[in-house]
Structure 1
């Protein structure tokens, strides 16, 4: 939760929640890690929970559909006044993300806390 607004740091659209449930049919325990922009841009990457090591400096933003969402501490510092909204669009997911090959991919949208939209 953002300390000033009381709003959650991360939300998911209904379409994202549907894709999460679809992925959980094959991989019941998953997590998201907000990519830092290297190989897969700034997509939220979806991994089997037992195959991704959460780092000492990762920050848990919250949960969407019961799935934890993490971000690196340095990214969190830059985005701490921003609410992330996990959405779904047509396309291919990140190379190692579980949405890859489903013809739909997760996408992060954002808005500033207090109602201001950020792009």
Structure 2
């Protein structure tokens, strides 16, 4: 692996914005946390595990995540059809970054943490 390039502030900000674009959407982070740890889940398992998500929205989010290289879709040609999803190595590599972001949010002052984490009094 080569030396990491040096970034100017605008280039670094653009790189982070591009990374955040991959994660934006109400359900993508929930899907990621469901699949972390090498889990392979059927579509129906994901749908049951994620309370409140519609089938249409789950399909849309998974397709976008597959297009972005975060999720792999495996189609088993059998009757009835079986489709499974798992994180790519690159998708799995998000786990430490998201854990660090959660720790950062948890370290916020109480009045800010309420808004960040939905904590009450």
Please classify the TM superposition score into its range, dividing by the shorter chain length: under 0.3
Higher helix share: 2
Could you state the TM-score of these two structures normalised by the residue count of structure 2? 0.24
* Higher RCO (CA < 8 A, seq sep 6+): 1
